[in-house]
Amino acid sequence: MRSIILKTALLAAAMAGVIAAAFAFIPTVTVQRGYLFTAMQHVAAKADVDKLAAANVMPTALPRTKAGQRSSEAYQNVKVLGNLTTAEFTRLMLTMTQWVSPVEGCNYCHNPANMASDEKYAKVVARRMIQMTQHVNANWQSHVKETGVTCYTCHRGQPVPANLWFDEPKNTYAQTSLLGDRAGQNLPSNAVAMASLPSDIFRPYLSEAESIRVTGKTALPTTNRQSIKQTEWTYGLMMHMSTSLGVNCTYCHNSRQFADWSQSPLARTTAWYGIRMVRDVNRNYLESLAGVFPANRLGPSGDVPKVNCATCHNGAFKPLLGQSMLKDFEELAAPYVPTGTTAFQKTLGTGFAVKGNESGVEAKLIGFIEDAARVVDATTWFDFDRLNFATGSAELDAAASQAQLDNVAEILRAFPALRLKVGGYTDNVGDPAANKTLSQDRATAVVTALTGRGIDAARLEAEGYGSDHPVCAANDTEDCRAQNRRIAMRVLSK
Ligand code: HEC
Ligand code: HEC
Ligand code: HEC
Ligand code: HEC
């Protein structure tokens, strides 16, 4: 009897020890996130906060000197960084080595016997990465703000960033099963923090523009998107976003009404832009490198590696906890502007930006597709006043038009998924039927000029609108009529 009492006492004592250990005081850090009195707080263990701080120490930047001549003159094969002086150029090369390939050194990207050669794929990728970094910093301030990103944000001293994604191979149940495609369901996947949610979230949401919204606006579900299946899919993405930032759902939502923007913390708006930015980066930069990466860098379906929220964030609510490395690397803040030109940037219509000098003589057109959703809805026409025709003729005026056509061809090459519609327009002088034919011929002449520059005809459409849709509706003075004799282009829906 006594021994039983003793054993029970010992067991109780042991249990108490276990319980005490399990409930040991864990120091936490709490940050108010939502609006006042909504009890939306972010609670984290202090040890985790310290670990995150240690993992996000920013390397110090080398001092900058402006000495030396322009790199475009000093070197042979400089396409992006030509406006830097040789001292600035060398500083950036040293820094890129530190950020991307500290172990392998310069030779990760270069053949030391011929630095100008593009024979190593890593150099070709790196050049596109420089453009991507500049593009993100210049055109996605809605997400990255002034803080911006550098190569280090993603690479952290590794040629291959720790977090990226590939297409999921088709995953069916056993061949003998009638259940068919698993739709990424019930397979443990890091993508969705090991939850039994669909894990094929990246292709539809972070490359293509599948709608994320699932909350119905009517009492009964009226569309397929407002089903439990679609909601689980959205939740899969939300799990990725939460784990990538090391936060929970209430960092961006008030959980009593997930869909309502007016109750959501501002971080949700930043995240909304982030989703669009990631799609842009994947489609226009990573996927444009298909064919450049060697086979051992490709995914199981042969696709290129791509970016998700974790690639930059690495588990932190802001990459590098909000420290800016960009302030020391102004060359990565905006795309290269040729020397001797004053930069201006004007966004015209859907997904087009014009860059060049103020006189317009060197005006260079750089198109960028900001957001697939907007491209698909594209209805905005963009007028080209520098595509000129002789009066009454469909012959392109060679001298004035060639540079502009080269620019358009360059855009089409830079954005392989882009398709354009070319519209021809005349003034209201003369017979309407003849004007219609003339405008059609002019639009066709532009398409022919572009296919002559190697652009696939399937990506272009021509249509003549005659004197319809005038820019200057009065059609009264010669100046006004000249504005109406034009070529316009717009992005073509899929
Ligand atoms: C991560 C890839 C990468 C690393 C590492 C790298 N470079 Fe480069 N390097 C490039 C790219 C990309 C260009 C072309 C830039 C352009 O087109 O504007 C370039 C161009 C150059 C050129 C110009 C060659 C010419 O004549 O056209 C020199 C010189 C150069 N790098 C030196 C170095 C040195 C020295 C190192 C090591 C300290 C280094 N690079 C490390 C990617 C890299
Ligand atoms: C938004 C994140 C991001 C930024 C910013 C970024 N990269 Fe990358 N980079 C990637 C991803 C993703 C890959 C594909 C990884 C792979 O090659 O398997 C990649 C690949 C590369 C590679 C090829 C490595 C290999 O061995 O396959 C080089 C070189 C490179 N980046 C250089 C740079 C340089 C230089 C910069 C800065 C000018 C930069 N990157 C900025 C995400 C980024
Ligand atoms: C980093 C910010 C962020 C985090 C964290 C986050 N969300 Fe979201 N959530 C968003 C954004 C942005 C949208 C809207 C996306 C869009 O419309 O393109 C959204 C949309 C949703 C929707 C669809 C609402 C509708 O209009 O139908 C649901 C449901 C949702 N989130 C649930 C969650 C859940 C559950 C979690 C936690 C696992 C979570 N979210 C974590 C930012 C976030
Ligand atoms: C190219 C790198 C990059 C990628 C990819 C990226 N972000 Fe960010 N994000 C940043 C930077 C830089 C900031 C910091 C901006 C600032 O200083 O306010 C930021 C800030 C944020 C914030 C604001 C945090 C706050 O507390 O204000 C949210 C939310 C966020 N990101 C969500 C996302 C989501 C969701 C994704 C994926 C869809 C994503 N990010 C992908 C670079 C990135």
Query: Helix or strand or coil: residue 97?
Result: helix
Name the percent of the chain lying above pLDDT 90. Answer: 43
469 and 367: one domain?
A: yes
391 and 277: one domain?
A: no
Q: Closest ligand 3 atom to the C-alpha of 276?
A: 18
Confidence band, pLDDT 50/70/90 cuts, at residue 302: very high
Measured CA to CA, the distance from residue 218 to residue 384 in angstroms comes to 45
Query: Is residue 143 domain-resident?
Result: no
306 and 401: one domain?
A: no
Enumerate residues 6+ apart whose C-beta is below 8 A from 103. Answer: none
Confidence band, pLDDT 50/70/90 cuts, at residue 73: confident
451 and 392: one domain?
A: yes
> How many domains is the chain built from?
3
Query: Is residue 250 domain-resident?
Result: yes
Query: Is residue 40 domain-resident?
Result: yes
Q: Quick one: which of 25, 54, 41 has its CA closest to 315? A: 54
Enumerate residues 6+ apart whose C-beta is below 8 A from 341. Answer: 356, 357, 362
Enumerate residues 6+ apart whose C-beta is below 8 A from 67. Answer: 85, 86, 87
Q: Quick one: which of 387, 394, 407 has its CA closest to 487? A: 387
Query: Nearest 5°: CA angle at 210, between 417 and 131?
Result: 45
Query: Is residue 85 domain-resident?
Result: no
Enumerate residues 6+ apart whose C-beta is below 8 A from 227. Answer: 214, 221
197 and 287: one domain?
A: yes
372 and 305: one domain?
A: no
Q: Quick one: which of 359, 374, 364 has its CA closest to 335? A: 364
Residue 473 is predicted with a pLDDT of 82
pLDDT in tens, 45-63: 888 888 999 999 999 999 9
Strand-pairing partners, residue 487, are: 384, 424
CA of 274: how far to CAs of 29, 290, 354, 396, in Å?
26, 23, 24, 42
Q: Quick one: which of 307, 300, 314, 310 has its CA closest to 285? A: 307
Kindly state the average pLDDT of the residues 309-331. Answer: 94
Helix, strand, coil percentages (3-state) for the chain, rounded to 5, are 45, 10, 45
Query: Helix or strand or coil: residue 302?
Result: coil
Does ligand 1 have an atom closer than 6 angstroms to the CB of 78?
A: yes
Q: Is the pLDDT of residue 492 over 70?
A: no
Is the CB of residue 239 less than 8 Å from the CB of residue 229? no
Extract the tokens encoding 395.
């012959």
Domain at 236, CATH number: 1.10.468.10
Measured CA to CA, the distance from residue 420 to residue 409 in angstroms comes to 11
Residue 362 is predicted with a pLDDT of 29
Q: How far is the CA of 93 from the centre of ligand 1 (A)?
A: 6
Q: Closest ligand 4 atom to the C-alpha of 320?
A: 12
Q: Is the pLDDT of residue 255 over 60?
A: yes
307 and 351: one domain?
A: no
Q: Closest ligand 4 atom to the C-alpha of 252?
A: 29
Mark which of 294, 313, 332 sits at the end of a domain: 313
Query: Is residue 373 domain-resident?
Result: yes
Q: Closest ligand 4 atom to the C-alpha of 147?
A: 17
449 and 364: one domain?
A: yes
374 and 464: one domain?
A: yes
75, 115, 130, 285: which to mutate for ligand 1, most atoms within 8 A of CB? 115
Q: How far is the CA of 154 from the centre of ligand 2 (A)?
A: 7
- What residues does ligand 2 touch, defined as CB less than 6 Å away? 96, 100, 109, 122, 125-126, 129-130, 133, 149, 151, 153-155, 159-161, 164, 293, 297, 305, 307, 311-312
174 and 271: one domain?
A: yes
Q: How far is the CA of 238 from the centre of ligand 3 (A)?
A: 6
Measured CA to CA, the distance from residue 250 to residue 265 in angstroms comes to 8
Confidence band, pLDDT 50/70/90 cuts, at residue 6: low
Mark which of 313, 328, 363 sits at the end of a domain: 313
Q: How far is the CA of 308 from the centre of ligand 3 (A)?
A: 15
Q: Ligand 3, atom 10: nearest CA belongs to which residue? A: 268
Query: Is residue 142 domain-resident?
Result: no
Q: Which domain does 424 fall in, by range?
A: 343-493
Extract the tokens encoding 413.
């090459």
DSSP 33-44: -SSTTS--EEEE
The residue written with tokens 């009226």 in the block is 222
Does ligand 3 have an atom closer than 6 angstroms to the CB of 40?
A: no
Is the CB of residue 461 less than 8 Å from the CB of residue 403? no
Residue 356 is predicted with a pLDDT of 37
Q: Ligand 4, atom 39: nearest CA belongs to which residue? A: 309
Measured CA to CA, the distance from residue 471 to residue 459 in angstroms comes to 26
Query: Is residue 154 domain-resident?
Result: no
- What single letter denotes the amino acid at residue 324? S
Looking at the CA of 325, name the nearest ligand. 4
Domain at 348, CATH number: 3.30.1330.60
pLDDT in tens, 398-436: 666 776 777 777 667 756 666 788 889 888 888 999 999
Query: Helix or strand or coil: residue 460?
Result: strand
Mark which of 271, 295, 313 sits at the end of a domain: 313
Residue 414 is predicted with a pLDDT of 59
274 and 351: one domain?
A: no
Q: Is the pLDDT of residue 340 over 50?
A: no
Measured CA to CA, the distance from residue 331 to residue 311 in angstroms comes to 22
Whole-model pTM?
A: 0.75
Confidence band, pLDDT 50/70/90 cuts, at residue 9: low
Query: Helix or strand or coil: residue 462?
Result: strand
Confidence band, pLDDT 50/70/90 cuts, at residue 482: confident
Highest mean pLDDT among 48-62, 186-200, 375-389: 48-62
Does ligand 3 have an atom closer than 6 angstroms to the CB of 239?
A: yes
Is the CB of residue 333 less than 8 Å from the CB of residue 137? yes
Query: Is residue 18 domain-resident?
Result: yes
pLDDT in tens, 345-372: 333 333 344 443 333 322 333 333 332 2
Residue 378 is predicted with a pLDDT of 37
Residue 373 is predicted with a pLDDT of 26
Name the percent of the chain lying above pLDDT 70. Answer: 77
Residue 314 is predicted with a pLDDT of 96
Cα 330 to its chain centre, rounded Å, is 20
Confidence band, pLDDT 50/70/90 cuts, at residue 240: very high
306 and 393: one domain?
A: no
